[in-house]
Amino acid sequence: MAETDRTAPAVDFVGGAVGYRFRSQAGRSHALLKATGVSPTRSLHVIDATAGLGRDAFLLASMGATVTLIERVPEVHALLSDALEAARNESDEFAAIIGRMTLLHGDARALLPTMQADVITIDPMHPPRTKTALVKQEMRLLRDLVGTDPDVGDLLAAALSADCGRVVLKWPLRAASPQASRKPSHQIAGKTVRYDVFRRPQRPTESSPRA
């Protein structure tokens, strides 16, 4: 039997944790859905500006969203591309989900100003935690490939000025937020991460009272 390359993270939408979450429908109560507003009854277009292993993007697409994934590291982009193709060939059900996912190669800081979406999600490589045992194997392998993403402030700035109704930043629960031009509208906290949600400020309408 051929040995698996365990220097690369596994990207697999059909088996493993992602496939289990899909089949068991455990993802239906995931905080990311609340943060983004994605649900099977709304057909939103989401840009996942930090595609990584594609887990978040697959969850969103499996809940009916159309998702554009952006990944800048060539090796990670290639792993994702292969995994999308494998899942497309798995079954009609998977093919329908993968049909809502479009993978782009590039730096989201450059691409976002040319794009439009209902929601942009950002999940950069977070600063290493001291309790390294808590970081899952796949994330450790991804970090070996990618390093950290020290330019998250620039990415958040690009997202906040893009043509989009909502920006969602996934960030360690207790870490200080990156610099941003405005404060989050609200936060959704999980056990170890939180989602900072930035809604587009309302533009004054003709009928709004003037100050």
CB 139 within 8 A of CB 93: no
Residue choice 72, 100, 166, 194 for contact with ligand SAM (CB under 6 A) = 72
The yes or no reply on residue 77 touching ligand SAM (CB under 6 A) is: no
Contact window for ligand SAM (CB under 6 A) among 19-27, 72-80, 91-99, 186-194: 72-80
Category of 46 on φ-ψ map: left (φ > 0), alpha (ψ -120 to 50) or beta = beta
Residues 57 and 41: their CA atoms lie apart, in Å, by 17
Q: In the structure encoding, which two tokens stand for residue 100, read together?
A: 């809502």
- Map residues 88-127 to x or -, x wherever contact with ligand SAM holds by CB under 6 A: -------------------xxx-------------xxx--
Q: Which of residues 8-67 bind ligand SAM (CB under 6 A)?
A: 49-50, 52-56
> Residue with CB nearest ligand SAM?
52
Burial class (CB in 10 A: 0-12, 13-18, 19+), 47: buried
Amino acid at 159: A
Amino acid at 99: G
Residue choice 17, 33, 73, 180 for contact with ligand SAM (CB under 6 A) = 73
Residues 210 and 159: their CA atoms lie apart, in Å, by 29
Interaction site with ligand SAM (CB under 6 A): 49-50, 52-56, 70-73, 76, 107-109, 123-125, 146, 149, 155
Would you list which residues are annotated within the binding site for S-adenosyl-L-methionine?
A: 55-56, 71-72, 123
